């Protein structure tokens, strides 16, 4: 097989893999990135419905919060700034009733994911903030009345 034919085969394989991977992106991530992030980053501890009953609870030192009661515990007002600080985690090692930082520092995780693929500090920070904001929007929609 000559070199040109081999290159075309490799290029075709790469395109096929890219199309296949794109087709497998969950549609909910495209329409509701906060929900997608919650299900893939938070539900293992906080539970699918956000009630603090995820499958990893037996292995945690502190039981995760019932995230559906955040507004109720703050006079019916969803505490966006406090929730943002908890999720981001880069501003403090201690986040109040959550105790010491058992929860991942998602701000760093999101920032590093963009930096690791060549993004600038500014791009990484914008991406981290966008993901945190999307997650906060999802958590606000999860609130029980």
Beta-bridge mates of residue 35 = none
pLDDT (0 to 100) of residue 102: 74
How confident is the prediction along the chain (145 residues), in pLDDT tens digits per residue? Answer: 566 665 565 555 445 554 544 444 444 446 899 999 999 999 999 999 999 999 999 999 889 999 999 999 999 999 999 999 999 999 865 555 444 567 889 999 999 999 999 999 999 999 999 999 999 999 999 999 7
pTM of the shown model: 0.73
Say how many C-beta atoms besides its own lie within 10 A of residue 81's C-beta.
Answer: 8
Q: Which helix (H) or strand (E) holds 19?
A: helix 3-23
pLDDT (0 to 100) of residue 38: 96
């Amino acid at each position: 097989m000559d070199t040109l034919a081999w290159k075309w085969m490799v290029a075709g394989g790469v395109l096929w893999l890219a199309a296949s991977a794109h087709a497998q992106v969950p549609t909910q991530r495209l329409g509701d990135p906060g929900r997608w992030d919650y299900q893939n980053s938070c539900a293992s501890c906080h539970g699918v419905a956000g009630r603090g009953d995820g499958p990893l609870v037996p292995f945690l030192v502190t039981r995760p919060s019932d995230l559906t009661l955040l507004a109720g515990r703050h006079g019916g007002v969803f505490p966006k700034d406090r929730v943002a600080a908890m999720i981001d985690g880069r501003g403090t090692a201690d986040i109040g009733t959550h105790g010491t930082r058992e929860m991942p520092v998602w701000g760093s995780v999101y920032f590093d994911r963009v930096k690791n693929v060549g993004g600038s500090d500014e791009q990484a920070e914008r991406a981290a903030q966008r993901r945190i904001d999307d997650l906060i929007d999802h958590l606000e929609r999860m609130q029980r009345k």
